[in-house]
């Protein structure tokens, strides 16, 4: 939210001197609120006013980066509380913990396992983003050795969680990888922040609840601004409420102490509960979720969830057009349905082909995510592109017939499509809901 | 968009007579009818012929409350009668209608608003009259907002009225009023609410409903939150319901005009 006239007016000298060109300070404040004037036009504005107004026009959540090169994670810079208002920009980073009590072959095995937490989903690579080395041993030298061992082999950005001694021992050795330091607390923040500053690393400020954390961030931010906030998760529901309130204050009220990315460490002990807890934080504004689970089958739904939450609602969802979709136990007799790659269109067709109980192939023509009629109107779902697409994808080599089924709403293209492609073009029902009846009438011999 | 039904006003002959005779029927009929039309508030005004507003206005409030649970906009510049009416109203959420931008009025009315948890219609009029430019009107709006802070009211307890004058005689005012509405929404966070005496735009013009509803839609685009209007002008209410949908304030459905009236 932009600055209001009242916010600006309060910072002005109230001289009504007209030196800015506006008749009154209030008029000038309204001109600024409208974006038609800037503060440097006022020769009498104080330094404090400049700083306050400058800070207020900064983005509501600061951008903070961890890691370097391909491992770099960008956090923060979010502007909305609900994704449907615009979109969420930077997906939550998932950090997997490695305790420094592991060493030698055990540690190597763990790193290898964590490096393997990379999966494919709907044609995209999804993976964890960070490795969190935790100073569970309490010993600085052990921590340093573990951090160096992990840094040498891990494929992901680093989070170092230790007390002052541990961090002081380990950070200089891996500073080039720009790790995130965890954590500056009320007791140790001066030393930890000095270390972060000296090594140019971002640092987590860990408080205890909203008030305490805000006070601590305010102190730290006077010296260093590459910060991530941790409310010191002790209860899941409380942490959820804290993150929601903090993000609201940052975006709606420009409350600077909460204008940073947020980190939450899961506290659930059961692995499945931990995933559910992490999913909550992914949905509610966490930039990093630090967790213990390292099993692919458990992490895949969490990563799928993150992918879904962070898609842009303003862009149409599409399905992959590269593949022919095989629904059920298809064979050479199975029908071939042609639709567009708009996800809503495709899944409507897919659902009805499943419901028809007659196995079939679906070809999702690449229409840049437009629906059937939209794509038709835009010339993307007409005879030539469809003929070419169906030919290139090779589906007709898999079947022993020469027939494709097209949506009833584009019946008008059937003649030209037949001419261009040489296929038998059958006009299906207008709505996908008609597919089961259509299929049963046309292919009774294929019913299972 | 908050619709304040204007009809229970002693300026209308039937209501004027009813107020003189303390006959509840016309008031109650209009209360029900305006709610059906889509009103969210009911304005009550004794009209000029009341001999004692401190008696008539509380009577009107109680009479309307017998048949309607809609909040009331209590319309008078006699602030003793206002207080009597607020006591008769007896719950939070009334709307004090209205005050101009004069410090003694603010000092009298804002504490009353805080005490009875009422909102206040604030007119952009000063002792020197109705300002022409948007800038001067916004300056008056700012006075109200600054004073609200002093008296413990929130900016959104204020319904600021930029004042609209008839287009046939004061044509250049309408565009300034629209700009004022736009700027009032930039004044503070939360922003004050805005309102307007809509029927004023068309005084003594032909085709009044057309001017009224066209201005309503334009003002809503500028950020208008409420209006004092004829809630039984169906074309007007339909236009407002349509504007709400187009401005993405209400989720679209095929029966949006009906749904708007039912809330």
Q: What is the pLDDT of residues A367-417, one digit of tens each?
A: 999 999 999 999 999 999 999 999 999 999 999 999 999 999 999 999 999
Q: How far is A13 from chain B (nearest CA, A)?
A: 16
Strands A360-365 and A324-327: antiparallel
Does A303 lie in the same domain as A339? no
Spatial contact of A330 and A305, defined as CB atoms under 8 Å apart: no
pLDDT in 10s for each residue of chain B, 263 residues: 999 999 999 999 999 999 999 999 999 999 999 999 999 999 999 999 999 999 999 999 999 999 999 999 999 999 999 999 999 999 999 999 999 999 999 999 999 999 999 999 999 999 999 998 998 999 999 999 999 999 999 999 999 999 999 999 999 999 999 999 999 999 998 999 999 999 999 999 999 999 999 999 999 999 999 999 999 999 999 999 999 999 999 999 999 999 999 87
Across the interface, do A30 and B138 touch by the CB < 8 Å criterion?
yes
- Which residues of A touch chain B, with CB atoms under 8 Å apart? 1-2, 4-7, 9, 23-24, 26-27, 30, 33-34, 252-253
Spatial contact of A64 and A228, defined as CB atoms under 8 Å apart: yes
Residue A32 has a pLDDT of 85
**Interface contact B186, partner A, CB < 8 A:** yes
pLDDT in tens, B70-126: 999 999 999 999 999 999 999 999 999 999 999 999 999 999 999 999 999 999 999
Q: Which of A310, A344, A362 is the last residue of a domain?
A: A310
Rounded CA gap, B129 and B214, in Å? Answer: 26
CATH number for domain B2-232, candidates 3.20.20.20, 2.40.50.200, 3.40.50.970, 3.40.50.10540 = 3.20.20.20
Spatial contact of B81 and B47, defined as CB atoms under 8 Å apart: no
Of A89, A429, A390, nearest to A261 (Cα)?
A: A89
Rounded CA gap, B229 and B217, in Å? Answer: 13
Taking only residues 25 to 64 of chain B, the set having a beta carbon closer than 8 angstroms to any beta carbon of chain A reads none
A164 or A121, which is more confident: A164
The count of CB pairs under 8 A between chains A and B is 43
pLDDT in tens, A268-307: 999 999 999 999 999 999 999 999 999 999 999 999 999 9
Instruction: Work out the average pLDDT over A314-324.
Output: 85
Q: How far is A324 from chain B (nearest CA, A)?
A: 37
Does A162 lie in the same domain as A221? yes
Does A230 lie in the same domain as A151? yes
Question: What is the DSSP-derived secondary structure letter of residue B191?
Answer: P
Does A404 lie in the same domain as A370? yes
Residue A5: list chain B partners with CB under 8 A.
Answer: 138, 142, 183, 186-188
Which residues neighbour B164 within 8 Å (Cβ) at sequence distance 6 or greater?
B173, B174, B177, B196, B197, B198, B200, B201, B215
Q: How far is B157 from chain A (nearest CA, A)?
A: 16
Of B163, B105, B165, nearest to B134 (Cα)?
A: B163
Across the interface, do B138 and A26 touch by the CB < 8 Å criterion?
yes
Does A328 lie in the same domain as A304? no
pLDDT at residue A1 is higher than 70: no
Task: Scan for tokens 């931008």, then name that residue.
Answer: B101
Nearest by CB to residue B186, choosing from A4, A24, A252, is: A4
Residue B188: list chain A partners with CB under 8 A.
Answer: 4-7
Rounded CA gap, A154 and A97, in Å? Answer: 12
CATH number at residue A227: 3.20.20.20
Does A163 lie in the same domain as A135? yes
pLDDT in tens, A264-278: 999 999 999 999 999
Q: Which contiguous run of DSSP H or E holds residue B18?
A: helix B13-21
Rounded CA gap, A168 and A140, in Å? Answer: 8
Nearest by CB to residue B139, choosing from A4, A7, A24, is: A24
Number of structural domains found in chain A: 3
pLDDT at residue A45 is higher than 90: no
Report domain extents, chain B. 2-232, 233-262
Residue A30: list chain B partners with CB under 8 A.
Answer: 135, 138, 183, 186-187
Residues in chain B: 263
Nearest by CB to residue B145, choosing from A6, A27, A30, is: A6
Does A116 lie in the same domain as A241? yes
Count of beta carbons in the 10 Å neighbourhood of residue B162? 31
Task: Classify burial at A41, counting beta carbons within 10 Å of its beta carbon; exposed 0-12, middle 13-18, buried 19 or more.
Answer: middle
Of B243, B236, B237, B197, nearest to B217 (Cα)?
A: B243
Across the interface, do A2 and B187 touch by the CB < 8 Å criterion?
no
A79 in any annotated domain: yes
Name B12's bridge partners.
none
Taking only residues 144 to 183 of chain B, the set having a beta carbon closer than 8 angstroms to any beta carbon of chain A reads 145-146, 155, 183
Q: How far is A30 from chain B (nearest CA, A)?
A: 7
Across the interface, do A27 and B187 touch by the CB < 8 Å criterion?
no
Residue A124 has a pLDDT of 77
Residue A388 has a pLDDT of 95
User: Which residue ranges of A make up the annotated binding site for [4Fe-4S] cluster?
Assistant: 17, 20, 25, 42
Residue A243 has a pLDDT of 98
**Interface contact B222, partner A, CB < 8 A:** no
Residue A24: list chain B partners with CB under 8 A.
Answer: 139
Residue A9: list chain B partners with CB under 8 A.
Answer: 142
Residue A34: list chain B partners with CB under 8 A.
Answer: 183, 186
Domain of residue A425, residue span: 324-446
Across the interface, do B187 and A5 touch by the CB < 8 Å criterion?
yes
pLDDT in tens, A222-266: 999 999 999 999 999 999 999 999 999 999 988 999 999 999 999
A319 in any annotated domain: no
Rounded CA gap, A392 and B29, in Å? Answer: 73
Residue B186: list chain A partners with CB under 8 A.
Answer: 2, 4-5, 30, 33-34
Instruction: Work out the average pLDDT over A318-327.
Output: 88
Predicted confidence band of residue A113 (pLDDT cuts 50, 70, 90) = very high
Predicted confidence band of residue A309 (pLDDT cuts 50, 70, 90) = very high
CA torsion, points A241, A243, A249, A254, in degrees to nearest 10? 180
Q: Which of A259, A287, A310 is the last residue of a domain?
A: A310
Question: What is the DSSP-derived secondary structure letter of residue A40?
Answer: G
pTM of the predicted structure, to 2 decimals:
0.79
Residue A448 has a pLDDT of 67
CA torsion, points A207, A212, A214, A216, in degrees to nearest 10? -60
Share of chain A above pLDDT 90, in %: 81
User: Which residue ranges of A make up the annotated binding site for 5-methoxybenzimidazolylcob(I)amide?
Assistant: 345, 369-372, 432
Does A382 lie in the same domain as A279? no
ipTM: 0.71
């Amino acid at each position: 939210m932009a600055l209001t006239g009242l916010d600006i007016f309060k910072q002005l000298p109230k001289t009504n001197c007209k030196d800015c060109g506006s008749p009154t300070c209030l008029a000038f404040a309204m001109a600024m609120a409208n974006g038609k004037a800037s503060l440097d036009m006022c020769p009498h504005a104080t330094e404090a006013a400049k700083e306050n107004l400058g800070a207020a026009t900064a983005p509501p959540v600061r951008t903070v980066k961890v890691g370097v090169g391909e491992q770099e994670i960008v956090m923060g810079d979010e502007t909305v509380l609900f994704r449907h208002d615009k979109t969420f920009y930077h997906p939550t980073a998932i950090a997997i913990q490695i305790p420094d009590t592991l060493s030698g072959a055990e540690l190597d095995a763990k790193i290898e396992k964590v490096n393997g937490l990379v999966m494919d989903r709907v044609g995209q690579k999804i993976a964890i983003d960070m490795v969190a080395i935790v100073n569970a041993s309490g010993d600085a030298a052990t921590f340093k050795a573990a951090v160096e061992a992990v840094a040498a082999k891990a494929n992901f950005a680093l989070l170092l969680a230790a007390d002052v001694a541990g961090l002081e021992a380990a950070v200089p050795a891996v500073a080039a990888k720009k790790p995130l330091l965890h954590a500056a607390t009320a007791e140790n923040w001066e030393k930890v922040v000095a270390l972060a500053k000296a090594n140019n690393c971002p640092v987590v400020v860990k408080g205890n609840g909203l008030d305490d954390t805000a006070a601590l961030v305010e102190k730290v931010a006077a010296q260093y601004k590459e910060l991530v906030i941790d409310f010191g998760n002790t209860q899941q529901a409380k942490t959820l409420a804290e993150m929601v309130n903090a993000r609201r204050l940052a975006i709606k009220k420009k409350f600077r102490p909460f204008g940073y990315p947020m980190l939450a460490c899961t506290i659930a002990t059961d692995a499945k509960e931990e995933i559910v807890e992490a999913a909550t934080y992914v949905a509610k504004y966490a930039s990093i979720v630090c967790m213990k689970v390292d099993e692919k089958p458990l992490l895949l739904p969490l990563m799928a969830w993150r992918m879904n939450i962070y898609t842009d609602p303003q862009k149409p969802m599409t399905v992959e057009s590269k593949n022919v979709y095989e629904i059920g136990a298809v064979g050479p007799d199975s029908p071939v349905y042609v639709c567009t790659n708009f996800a809503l269109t495709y899944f409507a067709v897919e659902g009805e082909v499943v419901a028809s109980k007659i196995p079939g192939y679906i070809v999702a023509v690449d229409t840049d995510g437009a629906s059937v009629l939209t794509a038709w109107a835009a010339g993307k779902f007409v005879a030539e592109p469809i003929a070419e697409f169906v030919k290139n994808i090779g589906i007709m080599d898999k079947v022993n017939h020469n027939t494709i089924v097209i949506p009833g709403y584009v019946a008008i293209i059937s003649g030209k499509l037949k001419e261009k492609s040489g296929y038998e073009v059958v006009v299906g029902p207008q709505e996908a809901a008609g597919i089961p009846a259509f299929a049963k009438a046309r292919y009774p011999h294929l019913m299972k | 968009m908050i619709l304040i039904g204007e009809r229970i006003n002693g300026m209308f002959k039937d209501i004027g007579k009813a107020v003189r005779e303390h006959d509840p029927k016309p008031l109650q009929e209009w209360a029900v009818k305006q709610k059906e039309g889509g009103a969210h508030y009911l304005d009550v005004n004794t009209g000029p012929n009341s001999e004692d507003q401190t008696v008539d206005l509380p009577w009107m409030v109680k009479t309307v409350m017998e048949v309607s649970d809609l909040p009331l906009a209590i319309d008078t510049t006699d602030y003793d009668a206002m207080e009597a009416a607020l006591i008769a109203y007896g719950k939070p959420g009334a709307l004090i209608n209205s005050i101009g931008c004069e410090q003694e009025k603010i000092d009298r009315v804002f504490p009353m608003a805080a005490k009875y948890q009422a909102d206040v219609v604030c007119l952009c009029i000063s002792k020197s009259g109705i300002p022409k430019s948007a800038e001067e009107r916004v300056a008056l709006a700012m006075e109200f907002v600054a004073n609200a802070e002093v008296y413990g009211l929130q900016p959104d307890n204020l319904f600021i009225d930029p004042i609209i004058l008839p287009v046939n005689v004061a044509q250049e005012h309408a565009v300034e009023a629209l700009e004022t509405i736009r700027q009032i929404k930039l004044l503070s966070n939360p922003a004050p609410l805005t309102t307007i005496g809509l029927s004023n735009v068309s005084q003594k013009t032909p085709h009044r409903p057309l001017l009224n509803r066209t201005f309503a839609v334009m003002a809503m685009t500028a950020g208008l939150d409420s209006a004092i209007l004829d809630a039984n002008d169906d074309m007007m209410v339909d236009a407002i319901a349509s504007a709400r949908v187009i401005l993405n304030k209400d989720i679209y459905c095929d029966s949006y005009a009906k749904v708007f009236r039912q809330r």
